[in-house]
Amino acid sequence: MAVQQRPETGTSRRAFLRHVGVTGGAGAMFATMGALGLAPTAQAASREQAYSAPKSGDFTLTGRGAAKVVVVGGGIAGLATAYELGKAGYDCTVLEARDRTGGRNFTVRGGDSTVDLYGNRQTARFSQGQYLNAGPARLPQWMVTLDYCRELGVPVEVFTNTNADAYLYNESAGMTAPVRYRTAKADVYGYVAELLAKATDKGALDKELTASDQDRLMEFLKDFGDLGDKLTYKGGERRGYTTVPAATGTPGVLLGDVPSASDVFASGVGRYFSFEFGFDQAMLMFQPVGGMDQIPKALTRAIGAHKVRTGAVVSRITQTAGGVTVTYTQGGRTRAVEADYCVGALPPNMLARIPHNLGSGVQSALEAITPQSAGKIGLEYRSRWWELDHKIYGGITETDLDVTHIWHPSYGFHGERGVLVGYYNYDTDADAYAKLTPGEREKRAVAAGVKIYGDKYRTELASSFSHHWRQTPHLEAAWHDTPGGPDDPRYKPLNEPTGRVYFAGDWLSYTDAWQHGAFTSARRAVTKLHARVLSA
């Protein structure tokens, strides 16, 4: 049955659904509810029903009560652990070494200060409303992070991960000016389509495809590559214009000469296109309004700030006969928390340095997981020249320079100022920048940007702030490499509780380097811990 109209009020909506149920049966009703957004679709169900949060009612018939839990680490995994356990009344204490929660979820605003492991001290001078998400900055729609934003009341907005008007720039291929994504795509897709169409036409696929399948393929290729007569690619409006079409008398002037297929392939621009095919990087993507740290802030509020001890550096985890003792120093004093259970939610490279009595299996598993590098620089500009002069609103410029990615802000459009991410790089590029002073980092990043965008990249700059995760105290990693994957048997002492100690973090998930990994890992630990408490 076709749904012609969306009933508006609650009563008429119920009546409408009853009607559908009567005439079409329960299956039709459920499908209609799905179409109306009232019942979960299969995909939403697989994401949300796999987890059910602990609740105080779970204890009603068991005669047992919630336990005391000490959570080591106030990043997303630790906060999610305390938040979820808190739903059932667990008494959680979160120990966080830094002066704020969130871990790698770090939003830099004017006045924020950091000191890296090399001793570089920086204070951000960003103006009011401007920020840099130094860590996580984009959320795919399928990740549970968005469910937490909904649940916690954190508003989200679109994050532009790909933009046809952003640039591609490969210096090593001899490019002296950037090319727009749309132009590069038109050319690469055009020539690939042309070559495949010609090969097909010559019978190269006769063994692979029937004649009618070849016809369908040809039809697709002509459309996909915008092919003209004789199956050739000749450019066209997909590449863009030097004068855009406007009123009568202004049909538009197409971008100049179409490069040869050889030049297009030599430029290497096609290597960036598959990024947006990734399950975790495809548009649309989202970001919290006002900065990614709205998530840990909301989690911390929901847990109760009094349950979170910041500046608390854990010095020992000791399993005792009936519980766990975690020792920490805070403001020069040594203290301890005694609890029934512990959840270790620090990065593995940090946990590996904390003395414990959990055995060599835990220690060697932690040491097998290696920390990786990434860095970002935020460049605040006095004007949004990328919008004014280049007509680029959000999105990412890809380069083969050591800055790697340049991000245009996905907030504050048409405002006076804006913060570009002048580099987002990994591994040796990130480490090379980390070794420079913040001033030298800025100089090097700006010199790279000038090659692509011209002088305003230097002359409009107001201030900068750079951040490198491998050199950040108490974290020392952007993400981790887990040889064999998180289910490898060697990580069993981390995936199964070791005595009364559980572990959680993105590094124990198939989505490391995403908050989704931290959230789902925390949910897994919480589920196991709660089941044990209920049956103990």
Binding-site residue ranges for substrate: 138, 423
H/E segment holding residue 36: helix 10-36
Decide: 494 and 356 in contact? Cβ < 8 Å: no
| Closer residue to ligand PHE, CB minimum distance, 140 or 438 | 140
- Copy the structure tokens of residue 396: 């990412």
Residue number of the CB atom closest to ligand PHE = 513
Q: In angstroms, give the least distance from the CB of 513 to ligand PHE.
A: 4
Binding marks (x or -) toward ligand PHE, 486..515, rule CB under 6 A? ---------------------------xx-
| Closer residue to ligand PHE, CB minimum distance, 201 or 276 | 276
Binding-site residues:
96-97, 135-138, 314, 423
Token pair 């406007």 in the structure block, residue: 246
Q: In angstroms, give the least distance from the CB of 487 to ligand PHE.
A: 19
Binding residues for ligand PHE, how many (CB under 6 A)? 4
Q: In angstroms, give the least distance from the CB of 159 to ligand PHE.
A: 10
Rounded distance, CA 402 to CA 445, Å? 8
| Closer residue to ligand PHE, CB minimum distance, 239 or 516 | 516
Question: What is the end-to-end Cα distance of the chain in Å, rounded?
Answer: 52
Q: In angstroms, give the least distance from the CB of 139 to ligand PHE.
A: 9
Q: In angstroms, give the least distance from the CB of 49 to ligand PHE.
A: 25
| Closer residue to ligand PHE, CB minimum distance, 280 or 431 | 280
Q: In angstroms, give the least distance from the CB of 102 to ligand PHE.
A: 15
- Taking the CB of residue 383, how many other CB atoms lie within 10 A of it? 16
Burial of 283 (0-12, 13-18, 19+ CB in 10 A): middle
| Closer residue to ligand PHE, CB minimum distance, 66 or 374 | 374
The residues facing 371 across adjacent strands are 480
Burial of 503 (0-12, 13-18, 19+ CB in 10 A): buried
User: Greatest CA span in the chain, whole angstroms?
Assistant: 87
Q: In angstroms, give the least distance from the CB of 135 to ligand PHE.
A: 9
Q: Which SS3 state, helix, strand or coil, does residue 207 take?
A: coil
Q: In angstroms, give the least distance from the CB of 244 to ligand PHE.
A: 33
| Closer residue to ligand PHE, CB minimum distance, 231 or 292 | 292
Binding marks (x or -) toward ligand PHE, 346..375, rule CB under 6 A? ------------------------------
For residue 466, the 8-state DSSP code is: E
| Closer residue to ligand PHE, CB minimum distance, 263 or 280 | 280
Binding-site residues for FAD:
96-97, 135-138, 314
- Taking the CB of residue 63, how many other CB atoms lie within 10 A of it? 6
Q: Strands of 44-189 (E only): list them.
A: 68-72, 91-95, 107-108, 113-115, 121-123, 132-133, 139-140, 156-159, 167-169, 179-180
- Copy the structure tokens of residue 431: 């480490």
**Which residues 6+ apart lie within 8 Å of 311 measured at CB?**
96, 97, 98, 99, 330, 331
Q: In angstroms, give the least distance from the CB of 274 to ligand PHE.
A: 12
| Closer residue to ligand PHE, CB minimum distance, 103 or 240 | 103
The correct pick among 47, 109, 138, 524 for binding ligand PHE (CB under 6 A) is 138
- Is 280 one of the binding residues for ligand PHE (CB under 6 A)? yes
The beta-carbon contacts of 319-325 under 8 Å, at least 24 apart in sequence, are 319/356, 319/357, 319/358, 319/498, 319/499, 319/500, 319/501, 323/68, 323/500, 324/70, 324/499, 324/500, 324/501
- Copy the structure tokens of residue 405: 């990615």
Decide: 195 and 225 in contact? Cβ < 8 Å: no
| Closer residue to ligand PHE, CB minimum distance, 264 or 292 | 292
Q: Would you say the C-alpha torsion 432, 436, 439, 444 has a positive or negative sign?
A: negative
Decide: 383 and 460 in contact? Cβ < 8 Å: yes
| Closer residue to ligand PHE, CB minimum distance, 186 or 522 | 522
Q: In angstroms, give the least distance from the CB of 526 to ligand PHE.
A: 23
- Copy the structure tokens of residue 489: 């048997």
- Is 97 one of the binding residues for ligand PHE (CB under 6 A)? no
- Copy the structure tokens of residue 525: 């630990």
Rounded distance, CA 219 to CA 180, Å? 27
Rounded distance, CA 430 to CA 436, Å? 10
Vertex 396: Cα angle to 505 and 392 (nearest 5):
145
- Is 144 one of the binding residues for ligand PHE (CB under 6 A)? no
Q: In angstroms, give the least distance from the CB of 424 to ligand PHE.
A: 7
Decide: 154 and 294 in contact? Cβ < 8 Å: yes
| Closer residue to ligand PHE, CB minimum distance, 265 or 510 | 510
List contacts with ligand PHE (CB under 6 A). Answer: 138, 280, 513-514
